[in-house]
Structure 1
Amino acid sequence: MNSAPCLLRIKNVKALTLCLRAIAPTAALFRSPHARSPFMHSCSVQHSLRSLHGTGALLKIQPIDKDYGGKSGHEGDRDKSLVTHDELFERVARMSRTKATFNRVLDAFVKQDVRRRGHVEFIYAALKKMPEFGVERDIAVYNKLLDIFPKEVFVPRNFIQRMYNHYPRQQECGLEVLEQMENHGLMPNVETKVLLVQIFGVKSHPVRKYQRLMYWFPRFKNLNPYPVPHQLSQDPIELARFSLSRIAADLDAKVTVYQLPYTDVIESGEEVSQPYIVGIQSPDQRSLLAQHCTNRPVFVEGPFPLWLRKTCIYYYVLRADPLPPEEKVEEPFDPDRSFFYPLQLDLDLERDMGDDDSFDVDEVEEGPVFAMCMVGRGDQATLGQWISALQETNPVLGRTATLFRLESGPRELQSAAEPEPAPETEAEPGPTEEEEPLRSHGAKQ
C-alpha cells in the first residue's frame, strides 16, 4: 500500500546524490582563503546551480576533438585494421599462388581479431581470389571460409527473427559461398552442414540451400554421357586424341598419330623441331572419299576452335563442296538398316483448313567432311604432310587437287601496338586475282 511514497523517496534520494556530485567540485572553493568574499561566494553558487541543471547533458554530450591531424594510438590501430583485404591477398600472391599461401591468409585473419570484425568483406574478397590460387574446387578451403563466421551469433532465437531473415547480410554471404561451390560442381559434405547449423541455425536460408544441393547434385552428377575431366592431360598427343574422338560423330572412327613431335639436327648444325600430327577418319568417311569425283577439288580448312573447359584447342578439316542438284542421286532407304527407329516415314496426315503452309525455310547444305586433324603448327607444310599420310589409306587424294583455305591462327595475329609495314613505293603492278584464289594459299596435286 505504501509503495508509491517509497518510490518517491528513492527518487528524491537519487536527485540529492546527483546534486551533491555536482556541488562537490565547488566545495574546495569555499575552503580556500579567496572564497571568503561575497562576490566569489555568489559566483560559486551560480556555477554550482548551473552545473546542477546541466549534469545530465554533460553526461551525454562528450567534447569532439576537431584536430583531425593528431590521432591517438587507438585510431592508428584502427586505420591499420582497415587495410583492404584485396591488398592482403596481393601481398601473399607475390611469393606464390598456392593452397598453402591461401590458407595462411585465412589463418592470419582469424588470429588478427578475436571478434573477427569485417569477416563478411574478407570472405567476399577470398571468394574472388580463389581461382587465382587454384583452390576453387577444394571443399576443405570452402569449409575453412565458413569457419571464419562467428558461431551461434546469427542463429535466430524465435520464429519472428526466423521469419524476417535474421542477419540478412551474413546469410547472403553464406549463400554466396554455397553458390560458388555450385557453379564449380562441388558437392558439400557433412562438415559443411555442421558449420552452417552452428552459424545460421537449422531453419536458415544457407541450410536450405545446402539441402537443395544435396538433393539435386547426386541426380545430375552422371547425367552427361560424354563428361569432360576436370584435369585435362598436359600431353598434346593425348589431348588431341580425346578432342578428336569427342568431335567425331561416328564411334567407329579411328584416331591415328601420323607424326610425333621431335627435334632434328640438319647438316648445318641447326636444330629443327617438327610438330605432332594427329588425325581421325571413320570407315564411312573413307568410303565417301573413295566415291569423290577427281575433277572436283577438296579443301583443307581451319583452324576451328574447340573449348574443353578453360582450354582452347584448334582443329582442321578436309572437306569438299556440296554436289550440284543435277548430280545428286537419291539412294533408296534400306528398311532393315536400323532395328530401333525408322529412317524414313511416309505419313499422309489430313490437314485442317486453317493450317498455313506458306512459311519458308532456308536449308543450307554443307559439303561432306572426309577427315579431321590436330597439328602442333598450323602451316601449309605441316598440313601437307597430313594429306600425304592420308594418301596411304585414301589413294584418291593422289589424283585430286587439294586447296588450302587457312585463316590466320591465334599465334599469327598481330597486335594493335605493332606498326603496320610501310607500302613499297616502286612496286610493279601484279595480276589481279579472283576472290577464290585469295582464300587459297596453294594447291597440291
Structure 2
Amino acid sequence: MKCARCLQQLQSLRLVGQSARSTAQYGAVLQSASSSQPSILHNTQHQVLRRFHRSPACAKTPPVKFIKEEDKKKDTSLVTQDGLFEQVPEDAKTKATFNKVVDIFIKRDVRRRGHVEFIYAALKKMPEFGVERDLSVYNRLLDVFPKEVFIPRNFIQRMFNHYPRQQECGVQLLEQMENHGLMPNVETKVLLVQIFGEKSHPIRKYQRLMYWFPRFKHLNPFPIPHQLPEDPVDLARFSLTRIAGDRDAKITVYQLPCTDVTESGEQVTLPHIVGIQSPDQMELLAKHNLSRPVFVEGPFPLWLRKTCVYYYILRADPVPEEEKVEEPYDPERCLDFPLQLDLDYDRDLGDEESFDVDDLDEGPVFAMCMTSQGDQSTLNQWISGLQENNPVLGQVPTLFRLEAGPKELQGAGVSESEDHERAEPEAPREEEAEYTVEEEPRRRRSQ
C-alpha cells in the first residue's frame, strides 16, 4: 500500500514540475521576443488573447425592444388553433365537421404539440357547431391529450401539481360539461385516469360531479326542457302555465298569427294573442268595485334558459282599508284542522316592528296574456276577448300603462324584440291613456 501511495505522489510531483517548466519556458520566450523582435511579441499576445475575443455580434448588444400588451395578447392567443375551425363554412358547422377537425389535429403530429391551445379553442367553438351538450364530443376532446405522460410517479410530483397547465385544461373541460348539465360516464373516467392518474385534480373534479349531480338532478319541481317550442303560440302557452300558480287556470288563444292582404294589396301581419285566467281571478274581477279602474301593464320579462319572452297583466290598485270587508268563516267547515288560529307570539328585542306585510299589497291580478306585438290596439282585442267571460269589464274603465321593453335575445319562435321595436312608443306612465271597452264590444256585436 505504501508503494502505491509513493507512486501516486511521484506522478503528481512530475506533473507539477512539467507545468512549472512550461511556464518558465513560455516566460523566457516572451522575454527574448520582447528584446529581439517586438513584432513577434505582439503577434504572440494576440494569439494568446484570441481565445477570449468576443465576436462582433456579441460585442454589439441589440437594442431593447418593448413589447406592447396587444402584441403579448396576440402571441398568447389561440389564433393558430382557431384557424382550423375558422376554415369551416357557416353552413357546414355540424358534429361530423367538428370531429373531422379533431381528427386532423390528432393526425397532424404524433406528439400532439399544442394540444392545450387546441382544446381551449375547441371548447370556445363548440356552441357554433351545436355540440356543447354532446358528451361524446367532450370525450373526444379528452382523447386529444397524450396518454401516460402527465401521470405523477411519486408523492412529491402529486404534491407539487404535476403538469399544472394540462390539469387546469382538463378541469376547464369538466367545468364546461357541468355548466351545460352533462354528467360524465365511465369512458370519461377511464380517459382521465389514463391521462392524469388516479390522484389528480381532474379526477377530483370528476368525483365531485358524480357525487352532486345525481342529488340535484330532480331538485327543480318545475323543470324547463332544453328544447323550447319553436311555435310562438306553444311557447306562450308554456310560459303562461309556468307563471300561473293555479292549476285550474285556463289558457285561451284569442288570435293566431296570420298574414292577411287588404283590398288595396297591402300585406298585414296579425300577431298572436294568448291569455290565461283562473276561476279565482274571475271571481275577484266580478266583485271588483265598478267605480275603480283596472290597468293593463307591461311588458314584463320572463327568461326561459336563453330565451326571453314578455307578458302583460290586467290588475287593479289595492283595496283601501276602509273598503275591506272580512268575510266570516264557518268554524264547522273543517273539524280536524281549524281555519283560523289566534296565536300571540312574544316579540324579541331584535324584532323590527315597523315592517308590515300589508304595506306590500300591490293589488289583485285578474288575468295575463302574451302577444308578439304589445301595442294598445292589440291589447284591446285581448280585453274584448276577456269580456265574454267577464261582463264586468264592459262597465269598468280600463287604463293602459305600457312601457317600451328592453331588447330581448333571439330565441325559439318569433323574436319579441323585433315586434316591440316596430311598435310605436306608448304614452309614459304619468300620462295614462283611458279606454272604456263598454261601447267597443257592443259595436262589434251589432256589426
Q: Does 1:118 align with 2:111?
A: no
Moved more, 333-342 or 258-267: 333-342
Aligned position for 2:326: 330
Q: Extract unaligned runs of 5+ from structure 1.
A: 10-41, 69-78, 416-433
What amino acid is the match of 2:106? V
Structure 1 Cα separation of the partners of residues 435 and 291 of structure 2: 17
What amino acid is the match of 1:230? H
What amino acid is the match of 2:377? A
Q: Does 1:188 align with 2:188?
A: no
Moved more, 209-218 or 240-249: 209-218
- Give the total of aligned pairs: 379
Q: Does 1:438 align with 2:431?
A: yes
Structure 2 Cα separation of the partners of residues 88 and 340 of structure 1: 72
Q: 1:333 to 1:101 in 2, by over 3 A?
A: farther
Give the 3-state SS of the residue equivalent to 1:84 in structure 2.
helix
Contact 2:301 2:311 in 1 (8 A): yes
Q: Extract unaligned runs of 5+ from structure 2.
A: 12-40, 63-74, 406-416, 439-447
Aligned position for 1:152: 148
Q: Does 1:179 align with 2:172?
A: no
Q: 1:90 to 1:336 in 2, by over 3 A?
A: farther
Q: Kindly, what percent of the aligned residue pairs are identical?
A: 68
Q: 1:109 aligns with which of 74, 98, 105?
A: 105
CA RMSD of aligned residues (A): 3.9
Give the 3-state SS of the residue equivalent to 1:196 in structure 2.
helix
Aligned position for 1:38: none
1:95-114 superposed Cα distances (whole Å, 9 cap, x missing partner):
54322332222222212221
Q: 2:243 aligns with which of 243, 247, 250?
A: 247
Structure 2 Cα separation of the partners of residues 312 and 110 of structure 1: 40
Contact 1:406 1:440 in 2 (8 A): no
Structure 2 Cα separation of the partners of residues 220 and 301 of structure 1: 37
Q: 1:412 to 1:111 in 2, by over 3 A?
A: same
Q: 1:343 to 1:101 in 2, by over 3 A?
A: farther
Contact 1:403 1:444 in 2 (8 A): no
Aligned position for 2:300: 304
Q: 1:135 to 1:158 in 2, by over 3 A?
A: same
Contact 1:298 1:403 in 2 (8 A): yes
Superposition map of 1:376-395 within 5 A: 376-395=372-391
What amino acid is the match of 1:347? L
Q: Does 1:261 align with 2:268?
A: no
Contact 1:323 1:367 in 2 (8 A): yes
Contact 2:403 2:429 in 1 (8 A): no
Q: 1:45 to 1:342 in 2, by over 3 A?
A: farther
Contact 1:253 1:283 in 2 (8 A): yes
1:51-71 superposed Cα distances (whole Å, 9 cap, x missing partner):
9x99xxx9xx9x99x9x9xxx
Structure 2 Cα separation of the partners of residues 441 and 397 of structure 1: 14
Give the 3-state SS of the residue equivalent to 1:182 in structure 2.
helix
What amino acid is the match of 1:262? C
Q: 1:342 to 1:99 in 2, by over 3 A?
A: farther
Shift of 1:44: 13
Aligned position for 2:316: 320
TM-score scaled by structure 2? 0.74
Q: 1:150 to 1:291 in 2, by over 3 A?
A: same
TM-score scaled by structure 1? 0.74
Give the 3-state SS of the residue equivalent to 1:186 in structure 2.
coil
Shift of 1:361: 4.6
Contact 2:403 2:428 in 1 (8 A): no
Contact 1:178 1:209 in 2 (8 A): yes
Shift of 1:280: 0.4
